[in-house]
Structure 1
Amino acid sequence: MEPLNHLDSFVQSAEGGSFSVAARRLGLTPAAVSKNVARLEAALGLRLFQRSTRSLTLTEGGERLLRQISAPLQQLQDAMADVAQDDGQPSGTLKVGVALAFGRMYLLPLLAEFVQRYPGIMPDWHFDNRPVDLIGGGFDVAIGGGIDLTPGVIARELAPVHIVATAAPRYMAGRPMPRHPADLAALDGIARRSAGSGRLRNWTLRNAKGEEGVAEHRASAIFDDPEAMAHAAALGMGLALLPSPHATPYLERGELIRLLPGWSARTGPLSIYYSSKKLLPAKTRLFVDFIVERFREPAFARRISGM
């Protein structure tokens, strides 16, 4: 297996641009990665990298080797991972990227069942609201929205997500209930700033008849996190236009009420992202199928979509 480790260190260093990046992906030290690459160079009689204190650049021979071995090496590793089993069960570490609140509310409760089914698979979950770099970060799976479909990544849609208008009962006490999105202009609310662009988000709500209305309100606060918006709205700070997965738990507990039932805005779908390679490791394939199956359950799907 040593030559495979040497090749893996080379490929990860080439793709990551440094021994340090490769070391993080492989769970090794930078010195160990550098030694593996040096042994590969000695075996080939060929220098693969031009090294300096600040950069790691492929030589012409290194570029040629990378083109020739990247795909076959990945296929071999996937095949080995697919048959590597512990008492007939798939095994290995499953690195998953999920958003903080969404992961805690909806995905973490599913984890116990998955682990019970496949005890040989070790969950390595990373909770972060920022979209992950699936390939560069060494993730097996990411779940969320707005992740770039870079080369080598595919997405399977799990559920549509809608933006719904909500407010705390105590905030609405003594105030007339809005009947049209234009009526929201008379209310205070928590505005959302896009984490990517820094701009305030604007929403156009639609109903089943196809009617539209811009949802504008007086901003009493500006947040960049929908879970914080939901919590602030539940505290009575004003209305909040929330993604349905974040609104649902508060609506179910009665901490928020739905304003303008039947009106919503469609946002990007919630998807599960994974490598587009033909032969997925068993651990990844089983997890993807497990999550897709759960999201197809009608009750679960309704909670996510808010419809």
Structure 2
Amino acid sequence: MVYSSGMDTLNCIACFVHSAKAGSFAAAARHLGLTPAAVGKNVARLEAELGVRLFQRSTRSLSLTESGEQFLSEAAGGLHSLEAAMANLANARGQPAGVLRVSMGQSFGRHHVVPLLDEFLRRYPAVRPDWHFDDRPVDLIVEGFDAAIGGGFELPPRLVARTLAPAHRVLLASPGYLECHGEPNSPAQLGEHEGILIRSPQTGRIRPWMLRNRQGLPAAIDLRLRMSFSDPEAACQAAQMDLGITLVSTAHALPYLDSGRLCRVLPDWYVDAGFISIYFAAQKLLPQKTRVFVDFLVEQFRSQGLDQRFSAL
């Protein structure tokens, strides 16, 4: 096997990894500032050097072969580290710079992260945010994100996380609903009330959360299913219409509680879903833009007391 120069090989690997992530040579070309033909040639050169076919090509699709899947899993992390090293060296006067791709939940991002943007850019003006609002766990390596914010799920391999706040969930209803139907005094009385429940966007199922009180005693949530949504904002809006009791994260609940549009039901009870965290690739040479954003977000959640406000206790 005869390899071309190291930089040529690195360019070929970059074209392969970005094509695999994006699903097309054209999308990879836009990211790399090349033409689709150049990306295709670089991938073909890499395949020739490796002696294996990495993609199955057709006129309409580009899919990884088994060898391509294996090579992507082994090469993507190394390429990310090399690109980070080069970006860090290229930063003007040592200041963090570059595009910062972060994934976060829609409502969480709008209410709790976007308001921090002005201060972040004041400190790091050479960083260009590219933020994606999506209520699902993302694959940082495959999808090309620098970091993501989320909670309530198991951390994927090769990632580390910094905790931002508790991921608690609370029961909510409108003052009008409680005035009309009465306020339950114990979890056992929830079965007498209409439920506005939330389906998982990933599974389509309603998760059977368990309540606990300050003493740690468990209790089931036996609301009568009146309606279900895949979006907690929609559930809160329905609850505002006096249609029932819903269960949402404190991150979603805070704007409604602060305005008085909704009230907590059974305020001594809550669901503990772990923690909301910002997670990123586990690597020694983390890009400066990612490192300063992670540190900034943790700092802001502490200094503004958001870590305490997200607690249901």
Taking structure 2 as the reference length, the TM-score comes to 0.84
Matched position secondary structure for 1:115: helix
Matches of 1:217 and 1:276, distance apart in 2: 41
Matched position secondary structure for 1:305: coil
Confirm whether residue 123 of structure 1 aligns to residue 129 of structure 2.
yes
* 2:194–2:244 contact (8 Å) kept in structure 1: yes
Matches of 1:210 and 1:52, distance apart in 2: 54
* 1:135–1:152 contact (8 Å) kept in structure 2: no
Structure 2 portions without partners, runs of 5+: 1-5
| Other-structure match for 1:178 | 184
Matched position secondary structure for 1:111: helix
C-alpha displacement at 1:197, in angstroms? 2.5
| Other-structure match for 1:53 | 57
Matches of 1:209 and 1:64, distance apart in 2: 50
* 2:187–2:219 contact (8 Å) kept in structure 1: yes
Taking structure 1 as the reference length, the TM-score comes to 0.85
C-alpha displacement at 1:268, in angstroms? 3.2
Matched position secondary structure for 1:9: helix
C-alpha displacement at 1:297, in angstroms? 3.1
* Letter matched to residue 192 of structure 2: A
CA offset digits 1:22-50 (Å, max 9, x no partner):
547646553231123345678x6x65536
- Between the aligned residues of both structures, percent identity stands at 48
| Other-structure match for 2:3 | none
Matches of 1:213 and 1:278, distance apart in 2: 44
CA RMSD of aligned residues (A): 3.1
Pick the aligned partner of 1:161 from 159, 164, 167.
Answer: 167
Q: What is the aligned residue count? A: 303
Pairing of 1:170-209 with structure 2 (within 5 A): 170-209=176-215
CA offset digits 1:150-188 (Å, max 9, x no partner):
332222222111121111001111443221111122211
Structure 1 portions without partners, runs of 5+: none
Q: 1:24 to 1:191 in 2, by over 3 A?
A: farther
Matched position secondary structure for 2:140: coil
Confirm whether residue 224 of structure 1 aligns to residue 230 of structure 2.
yes
CA offset digits 1:259-305 (Å, max 9, x no partner):
11111110132111111111001000000111111222362112222
Q: 1:252 to 1:77 in 2, by over 3 A?
A: same
Matches of 2:117 and 2:106, distance apart in 1: 15
* 2:196–2:245 contact (8 Å) kept in structure 1: yes
Matches of 2:208 and 2:79, distance apart in 1: 47
* 2:16–2:43 contact (8 Å) kept in structure 1: yes
Pairing of 1:120-159 with structure 2 (within 5 A): 120-146=126-152, 149-159=155-165
